[in-house]
Chains A and B, each alone.
Chain A
């Protein structure tokens, strides 16, 4: 039986993970619908650079990540129509160079000790009370925005031109969505790590697709699957001393595989 001190950080880990899953479900569903998985990946890979810059400038780490993700998102959305390259090529360039810049910048930080593995793959057992505050504060902000903009965001997701003719501010909605994504990436980094954030967004949503008849059902089910993956993955991580982020993603992937098989049998 673990002692009281151990209980404490496991409770924080569970709370943090479940809070994140609740936001990642709806937001991840939008990422799947909008085919932005690779875009999300590119943003997440830039998170490390955000951390390093925040350390260099003595800023709050979460703030640094949100700022870098938002800046990259703006550059990407304005650049993409201007370059004569396929979208996935542009995203690939940004995704990997953002990570490389982050790693190189990190090597200049010899005065600061940074748990690189923790940032890349998550260190859920190191979640502090302050991290929880960020996750729940940021998460509540993101969920409230999603609820308030649900219908217009769906309309833009279905067809941007039709939405524009119908009078929706398409550009502003797109920008808002990307900013929400930046906030979630910053909140998720501690839990699953920069390299695995996208999977927590898209894998539960993809697993939920086959069982949902409406967008809301899919979003809620994705949050539930995400919560299940976080809880089971964390338990595995504690039981077998495996890295927490990858353990969560492994469970999510197994859930997805089950969902495909189950769906086949039902259909």
Chain B
């Protein structure tokens, strides 16, 4: 079994787990049963070189179990476990042709995948997140050397992507994305291709509007943003008194 060609920590997301990482060659997403599902990556240390289509389950006992390969080789793509437990995989570098806008849906129950509606823009190193209403937001990324400021929303009920109403305040790649406790989405930092950004946007899924929401104290790219769970237990007890 060929296990090797995964590179770097990947974007991991899950309904109950708050995970963030810089988008990278391999993509990993957490399933509802606690396992992870790993897709694609590259066969060499060079970023985005020789993308592959293989996929694995990372079982709860730590073992790796092969899954049906993706329809296309992908690196630096996005992958998200949907609310019905199927997995959306989209974009990334697919071969010598560079970025792809193709997308596919994999069903871990049947170990089968199939195509779904493509993104409107071919993106690599985008950041994606599952919205509370079950849709998926894909933000920014790199398309053939240009950094994108656009957002796309995938609706599983329609099996297609469409462009969101608003755009980011800046083009962003290498940015961080996080689900806030109220269901809005924080999108921060990254690079616009020329400079590293300290700006923060908040996306409202209900209106699809982007609102500039302040600044980080330092410009940051390739970083993590993690929403905290609650007040420290000692403070929670203090407030209950």
Q: Do A and B come from one complex?
A: no
